Amino acid sequence: MQLVNLKDDNQKVSFTEAVKTGLGRNQGVFFPTDLKPLDDIDALLELPFVERSTQILSHLIGDELPKDTLADMVKRAFNFPVELVKVDEKNYCLELFHGPTLAFKDFGGRFMAECIGLFNQGERVTILTATSGDTGAAVAHAFYNKPNVDVVILYPEGKISLAQQKLFTTLGGNIHCYAVTGSFDDCQALVKQAFLDDEVKAKLGLNSANSINISRLLAQVCYYFEALAQLPKEERALVHVSVPSGNFGNVCAAMIGSVIGLPVDKLSATTNQNDTVPRYIASGEWSPNATVESLSNAMDVSKPNNWPRVQSMLDSGKFDKHDFYSRCVSEQRTQEVMREIAANDYIAEPHTAIAYEGLTQDKDAKSTGIFLATAHPAKFKESVEQVLAKQIDMPEVLQNALDKACLAQPMTADYEQLKSAIFAKLF
Ligand SMILES: *Cc1c(COP(=O)(O)O)cnc(C)c1O
């Protein structure tokens, strides 16, 4: 597989290099130079999830990874189910929260851990990442107790849910957490600074685990095929998928899927009030506002890192602009929709409700709708219970994490403090 830096087309890299470096020169993201269609989609959809996912990833990545190695990696990474649940007459929910940290980030995080484990054999690696809520837990669990790997996670103190936080700050071992006084953007800025610091980079063997990493993105392509495989055949003619979007990685994976032959006709990338992309689609102007806090905190992103990848597929016509929708859903509407879905006996947390609203607004009557449940409702227990005025069940993994003590250390948003803390911890 060859990838090109979307900000500098002189920089072309292999899949291995793209995974190891994350971001290219000038902060450019890597994108495959050639996305070839898969053959015989119908036969592919007949296969079991893990086997089909191996075929898809092998098609995308090519001979850089031997197929039997890849098969083992996929089997270990995707060791939990994906479920498509009918919610009403024309809409299905794709539940992506049955992994160890109850959010879709487990797919990308676990496959990325497999790739780094393979590529960095013997070398020391430090994964440094900022989290807006769910990446931290997925990455922490994926790398927990892996030899030669340390994970450093920065999160904005008080701005993520207790369940989100406890899922990674209670692990200990090779997982080191810092509660930063500031916003997600402040955490992200500290991470960026570390990547510009050659001393730190070399000594620690730094790698980031954010959704920029191509291995995470490619892994996510696989569950869209699983959604179609579980959809009754007579409902596959016209399919409209709605993805709750923050950094636009998930919807980018859906679009890559479509480019290689996934039978999805229309895509909605639905956001909360952090609406840089919807405003851009409407006006042609890219003008991010300051990030605002919302109920769907994992989408509180105003400068989506993955947008250049989506844009490249729209610009080249690989995905038809007219079939791409992006709108924003207000806080008030998010809560109303949560109650509307609950009236159909389905509990949706805020991100999922936003995806559902995207279908309600964008989908035509003929199409079958699929909206993504990106997190388990219990991960947002406080807000779900408040909005629905009822108690919800707590899965055991979450209850166990909640019962443990938080091991994170407080930190101000100061790079020198971060640097000395990391060096003190790791050397
Ligand atoms: C990360 C996340 C999103 C946003 O996904 P992107 O790929 O960043 O667009 C949506 N919902 C949940 C629950 C998340 O954790």
Question: Cα(420) to centroid of ligand 1, in Å?
Answer: 31
pLDDT for residue 331 = 98
Band of pLDDT at residue 27, cut at 50, 70 and 90: confident
Residue 93 counted as domain residue: yes
Residue 39 counted as domain residue: no
Question: Cα(238) to centroid of ligand 1, in Å?
Answer: 25
| pLDDT of 340 above 90 | yes
Residue 378 counted as domain residue: yes
| pLDDT of 261 above 90 | yes
pLDDT in tens, 408-420: 999 999 999 999 9
Band of pLDDT at residue 91, cut at 50, 70 and 90: very high
Candidate of 139, 248, 250 to mutate for ligand 1, largest count of ligand atoms within 8 Å of Cβ: 250
Residue 272 counted as domain residue: yes
Number of domains the chain is built from: 1
pLDDT in tens, 280-322: 999 999 999 998 999 999 999 888 989 999 999 999 999 999 9
Question: Cα(123) to centroid of ligand 1, in Å?
Answer: 31
Candidate of 129, 374, 381 to mutate for ligand 1, largest count of ligand atoms within 8 Å of Cβ: 374
Residue span of the structural domain in which 303 resides: 83-104+214-388
Among the ranges given (9-13, 25-29, 69-73, 252-256), the one the predictor scored with the smallest mean pLDDT: 25-29
Of the candidates 129, 91, 97, the residue with the CA atom closest to the CA atom of residue 113? 129
Domain CATH code at residue 258 = 3.40.50.1100
Question: Cα(385) to centroid of ligand 1, in Å?
Answer: 21
Question: Cα(290) to centroid of ligand 1, in Å?
Answer: 19
Q: Which two tokens stand for residue 217?
A: 């993105």
Residue 330 counted as domain residue: yes
**The tokens 């089909």 sit on which residue?**
52
Question: Cα(244) to centroid of ligand 1, in Å?
Answer: 7
Question: Cα(364) to centroid of ligand 1, in Å?
Answer: 25
Ligand 1 atom closest to the Cα of residue 252 is 7
CA atoms 375, 380, 383, 385: torsion sign: positive
Band of pLDDT at residue 72, cut at 50, 70 and 90: very high
Residue 252 counted as domain residue: yes
Candidate of 135, 351, 354, 356 to mutate for ligand 1, largest count of ligand atoms within 8 Å of Cβ: 351
Q: What is the mean pLDDT of residues 323-339?
A: 98
Residue 315 counted as domain residue: yes
Of the candidates 158, 114, 165, the residue with the CA atom closest to the CA atom of residue 135? 165
43 three-class SS: helix
Measured in degrees and rounded to the nearest 5, phi and psi for residue 5 equal -75, 120
Question: Cα(425) to centroid of ligand 1, in Å?
Answer: 30
Straight-line distance from the first to the last Cα atom of the chain, in angstroms, rounded to the nearest whole number: 36
Q: What is the mean pLDDT of residues 334-357?
A: 97
DSSP 122: T
Please count the other Cβ atoms lying within 10 Å of the Cβ belonging to residue 395.
16
Share of the chain above pLDDT 90, in %: 84
Question: Cα(220) to centroid of ligand 1, in Å?
Answer: 12
Q: Give the span between the Cα atoms of 108 and 355, in whole angstroms.
A: 20
pLDDT for residue 94 = 98
146 three-class SS: coil
Q: Hey, what amino acid is at 70?
A: L
Query: Across the chain, what does the average pLDDT equal?
Result: 94
**The tokens 């592919």 sit on which residue?**
44
Residues lining ligand 1, Cβ inside 6 A = 103, 105, 133-134, 211, 244-250, 298-299, 351, 374-375
Band of pLDDT at residue 202, cut at 50, 70 and 90: confident
Q: Whose CA is nearest to atom 14 of ligand 1?
A: 298
pLDDT in tens, 155-172: 999 988 898 999 999 999
| pLDDT of 154 above 90 | yes
Ligand 1 atom closest to the Cα of residue 245 is 9
Of the candidates 99, 32, 20, the residue with the CA atom closest to the CA atom of residue 61? 32
pLDDT for residue 97 = 97
pTM: 0.95
Please count the other Cβ atoms lying within 10 Å of the Cβ belonging to residue 232.
10
Residue 290 counted as domain residue: yes
Ligand 1 atom closest to the Cα of residue 349 is 13
Q: Whose CA is nearest to atom 1 of ligand 1?
A: 298
